[in-house]
Amino acid sequence: MCPYLKEFMPLLVVGSIALDTVQTPHGRVENVLGGSAVYFSYAANFFNHVRLVGVVGKDFPQEYKQILASKNVDISGLEVVEGKTFRWSGCYEGAMNAAQTLLTELNVFATFEPKIPHLFRDSKFIFLANGGPATQKSVLKQIHAPKLIVADTMNLWINEQRDELLDLMRQVDGLVLNEEEARLLTREMNLIKAGKQILKVGLKFVVIKKGEHGAMLVSPEGFFICPAYPTEHVKDPTGAGDSFAGGMMGYLAKTRDISHWNLKRALIYGTIVASFNVEDFSLNRFHQITLDDIEKRYKEFISMVSF
């Protein structure tokens, strides 16, 4: 059992809220609740209360706001503006290792300028979900004395806003990215070398996601390889990376321990939470589980990798 504390440590996420249309070999769903901040919030909330900052259009369903609020996600930072909500459509085939993007409509998210409510500015754990580096940096100017800041990124920003991204990396403690992005950022094919190179900007740690092959933690204290949980029932991988980050950050905020040892445990918890997420469309699987289910799978995972 992980060493939880009684009091919650404020955890803030800033990112996208979307209406997703997804097709996989197991079916199709239209205009379901999605987005990086949403998946993160649901995953993190198994461990810690979450404060969400994002933007939606006037077309955003009221029932989705109620779903977020019922999960004890504080949506005081949810901005509703004229226009349409961010929409994404994708298709998975075969082993479902990667999505084929069919449609991306940023809509109101394209001009999103995060406004952090005053009551959120004392947040100690901050996750900057995927977004433009300038937008992510604007959040940091509104936060007072954070304990841990972690950012996500993607190949678009690496290719088109590398200097801005590098400047952001100097202002945060951790970076989360996938193996393709790590290689693109560093021009190193070996992920250990890539992780070490990324650390040189001054980060405390880097987490490199490897999809069905798990994740890698790189810090000045060493390396840690975390395999993926071998779930048999993959229906929809959408949001797996954001769920992983939410589980990881939720656990860190709850335990308030960012040592290398505890970061390793956080990766495992992130992996376990993500393994539930992929077992159904959208957030459906999260509605069916509790922290007890996560702890049970955590123990199963430990028994699988121990020798």
Mean pLDDT of 143-155: 96
User: Which residues face 21 on adjacent strands?
Assistant: 89
Mean pLDDT of 99-119: 95
Q: Which residue type, as a one-letter code, is found at position 166?
A: L
Q: Which CATH number fits domain 11-305: 3.90.1150.10, 3.30.390.50, 3.40.1190.20, 3.40.50.720?
A: 3.40.1190.20
Percent of the chain predicted with pLDDT > 70: 98
Query: 157-201, pLDDT tens digit by residue?
Result: 999 999 999 999 999 999 999 999 999 999 999 999 999 999 999
pLDDT at 187: 96
pLDDT at 5: 58
CA distance 137 to 53: 14
Confidence of residue 6 (pLDDT cuts 50, 70, 90): low
With a threshold of 0.85, does the pTM exceed it?
Answer: yes
H or E segment to which residue 178 belongs: strand 174-178
* In the predicted structure, residue 4 carries a pLDDT above the cut 80: no
* Residue 13 near residue 50 (C-beta atoms within 8 A): yes
Token match 């702890």: residue? 295
